[in-house]
Amino acid sequence: MRQLSLIAGTDETRALDALFINAPLRDYTLRPRTNDYTLPVLGMAYIATYARQAGFNVGVLDAEAHGLGIEEAANIVNKAAPRWAAMNLLAPTYEMSAQIAAKLVPEIALMIGGHHAKAMPDRILADPRMRNLKALVLGEGELRVAALLENEQRRRELPGVLWRDPISGTRAGGVADARTSVQMLAPDIDALPYVDRSFLPQDPYRSAPTATDRRLAGSRGTDWLTAAASRGHIEANIVGSRGCPYNCTFCGAAWSANPDVKIRVRSPENILGELDALNSQHGVTAFRFVDDLFLGAKRVIDEQMAAFTRHGIGERFVWDATGRINVLDRLTDQELEALVENGLREVALGIESGSDRILTAMDKRIDAAMTERVARRLVARGIGVKGYFILGFPGETREDLDATVQHIRNLWEIADHHPGDVRASVFEFRPYPGTPVWQTLIKDGYNPDELLAYGDVDLTQDGADESMRQRDEFNFSVGIQFGGVPLEDVRGTLAMLTREQHERNQNGQEAAA
């Protein structure tokens, strides 16, 4: 019963139509989690919510959030006995997913989707561990998953649904007319129901008070911000758009890897409706937009901020968002002030490198000077910056690596003289199937099996333990030296920067206490 209680959102009085499974990044029976929070599976929850609205009894088993092992996760699925088990395949979790799938009883039909399924469908269809596979769904799944739950035979009329022919062993796929394909592959995101948070075991959640929250409380003087600064916000993650117009070579969201994805932004009214609903239902006062680029187009920023201003969002909430450096660089001071007034607390930026040469190779359309200029303008207004960086990118030299280290320290120095903070999240490069850099590596002669051999990164010998890294799911590698710097030096630099950021976090908390 304890195991079955880990299934979120299901109606226990009815037979289970589908159980959506988020596989663990590693087998936690071998090494337990060191952190107790992971990113919520919003995409899976969107599909589950739509399926429930269509009348089906569904649940979500987030094995990563619960720190489950392979055997335990498979046992929970088998005991729950759903008609369908549905998995979201990502390259780092594929092996875990395949091992769980291999342990499912034959009576449970398997449905899969996700970036990895889209990038390598034939490889997955040929995997004997996926013997229960009845439907591989390419792209956004809400409408097609509901159709499959209604009747498995509908797969023959659904676009972007594949399976292995039981007689020939070859790929088979559904077909549909052009109009149906557009509706099924790119649903109107304003018409989708708000995510049912009962499917997410860790969202909303209460966050720890931060120095930024205390600063905002002091500057705005509102009772709710003062209360949140003392005990922490109740926070929720939210998606404001789908698709990305950029083609960063390492990214699974690159437009060249997703030619079927139509870029869509939710209307301001639709987003504001979800913010209000989360506040009234769960007391949420802080939001994190986790889509690829919420602040990624000036037209969208202008439209959203006008609506935020009309509805007084900055007086009631704070929020964090992803952003695009070159877009923020073009905003006027007045437009940046509008972000502040509307409650923007922190922007997550894909900075990636301090080397302009590597940034060009990544097709980032930025340079280090632009990043420092944008960071200075943001932190001067009290907006925090969370920067993501990649070490060990193909072709990276020692000079490039040193430039990134100096760039991070320059950003920290800028933050030290302004009210906003800069946090650096630094990771070792790992290739993802379907991305532009993956295609280049394959052309250069790399073995796909070796590029898919994801494993843990152990930084303890370099003086950094995993507790410094906040989230387990990003701590992995394929163990290949892609640039000119030895892998042990890349990891030594990664550990050094992780340790320095951890110390900055600790000092900031002590200063705010």
Helix axes 487-512, 211-220, angle to 10 degrees: 40
Give me the half-sphere count of Cα atoms (radius 13 Å) on the Cβ side of residue 471.
Answer: 12
Please tell me the predicted confidence (pLDDT) of residue 512: 55
Asked if 111 and 44 count as a contact pair (C-beta separation under 8 A), the reply is: no
Q: How confident is the model at residue 259 (pLDDT cuts 50, 70, 90)?
A: confident
Look at residue 507 in the predicted model and tell me its pLDDT: 83
HEC secondary structure over 66-86:
HCCCHHHHHHHHHHHCCCEEE
- SS3 string, 230-280, reads HHCCEEEEECCEECCCCCCCCCCCCHHHCCCCCCEECCHHHHHHHHHHHHH
Q: Which two tokens stand for residue 328?
A: 């923020």
SS (H, E, C) 115-179: HHHHHCHHHHHCCHHHCCEEEEECCCCHHHHHHHHHCHHHHHHCCCEEEECCCCCCEEECCCCHH
pLDDT above 70: residue 513:
no
So what's the pLDDT on residue 170? 80
CB-based burial label for 444 (10 Å; 0-12, 13-18, 19+)? exposed
pLDDT reported for residue 162:
94
What span, in angstroms and rounded, lies between the C-alpha atoms of 443 and 505? 42
- What amino acid occupies position 167? I
Which token pair is 245? 């117009």
Instruction: Count H helices and E strands in the chain, helices first.
Output: 21, 18
Task: Measure the CA–CA gap between 223 and 293, rounded to whole angstroms.
Answer: 31
Extract the tokens encoding 272: 């504001």
- CA atoms in the 13 A half-sphere facing the CB of 470: 12
Q: Output the pLDDT for position 472.
A: 44
Is the pLDDT score of 345 beyond 90?
yes
Q: What is the pLDDT of residue 459?
A: 67
Task: State residue 43's pLDDT score.
Answer: 93
pLDDT the model gives residue 367? 97
Q: What's the pLDDT score for residue 511?
A: 59
Average pLDDT over residues 230-248: 88
Query: CB–CB of 353/427 below 8 Å?
Result: no
Under a CB-based contact definition with an 8 Å cutoff, are residues 482 and 384 in contact? no
Q: What is the pLDDT of residues 411-443, one digit of tens each?
A: 999 999 999 999 999 999 999 999 999 999 999
Share of the chain above pLDDT 90, in %: 73
- pLDDT at position 246, please? 83
Q: What are phi and psi of 331, to 5 degrees?
A: -75, 145
Q: How far apart are CA 84 and CA 111, in angstroms?
A: 7
Is the pLDDT score of 475 beyond 90?
Answer: no
With bands split at pLDDT 50, 70 and 90, how would you rate the model's confidence at 148? very high
Q: What ranges do the domains of the chain cover?
A: 4-185, 204-512
Residue, of 182 and 396, whose pLDDT is higher: 396
3-state class of 422 per DSSP?
strand
Topology of domain 4-185, per CATH? Rossmann fold (3.40.50)
Q: Are 155 and 148 in contact (CB under 8 A)?
A: yes
Half-sphere exposure of 279 (CA within 13 A, CB side): 15
Reduced 3-state DSSP string for 462-493: HCCCHHHHCCHHHCEECCCCCCCCCHHHHHHH
**Any idea what DSSP says for residue 400?**
H
| Full DSSP string of 31-45 | S--S-S-----HHHH
- What's the whole-number average pLDDT of the chain? 90
Is pLDDT of 464 > 80? no
Compute, in degrees rounded to 10, the torsion defined by CA atoms 141, 146, 152, 154: -80
Global confidence as pTM: 0.92
Superfamily of domain 204-512: tm_1862 like domain (3.80.30.20)
The distance of Cα 404 from the centroid of its chain, to the nearest Å, equals 24
- Binned at pLDDT 50, 70 and 90, residue 207 comes out as confident
The pair of structure tokens assigned to 212 is 């930024």
Confidence class for position 251, pLDDT limits 50, 70, 90: confident
Q: Which of 301, 203, 183, 290 is nearest to 240 (CA)?
A: 290
What tens digit of pLDDT does each residue of 17-74 get?
Answer: 999 999 998 888 887 776 666 789 999 999 999 999 999 999 999 999 999 999 999 9
Per-residue pLDDT, 461: 62
pLDDT of residue 247: 85
Mean pLDDT of 389-400: 97
